[in-house]
Amino acid sequence: MKENGIPVVFDGCNRAGGNMALQFCDPDGFEYELYCRMDQMTEDGKLRPETQFRQVNTFEDARASVTREVVNY
């Protein structure tokens, strides 16, 4: 997107929810967010361990930080 001149507001991994996100603006200045891999709470209230919450500031860092432990929580 950056290479095509689209203003990127944020790309990386957000702390709340642990999801990867991409925020960008359209030509009129409206901001959009695409996200994936948001944490899901199980019926018994379990979430992944707190040690797996990592904030990163780029998609490259987010992809590099994904481990088998995170994927299979």
The answer to the question of residue 31 being in a domain is: yes
**Of 55, 47, 52, the residue nearest 14 (C-alpha):** 55
CA distances from 27 to 5, 24, 61 (A): 10, 10, 28
Residues 1-60: tens digit of each pLDDT: 888 888 899 888 766 666 788 999 999 999 999 988 777 778 887 776 666 666 777 778
The answer to the question of residue 60 being in a domain is: yes
Write b or e for each residue in 32-45: b if 16 or more Cβ atoms lie within 10 A of its Cβ, otherwise e. eeeeeeeeeeeeee
Domain count, the chain: 1
The answer to the question of residue 48 being in a domain is: no
The answer to the question of residue 12 being in a domain is: yes
The answer to the question of residue 43 being in a domain is: no
How many Å apart are CA 71 and CA 55, to the nearest integer? Answer: 16
pLDDT value at position 28?
93
The answer to the question of residue 47 being in a domain is: no
The pTM for the full model equals 0.54
Contact 8, 57 (CB under 8 A): no
pLDDT value at position 24?
94
Range of the domain at 33: 2-38+53-71
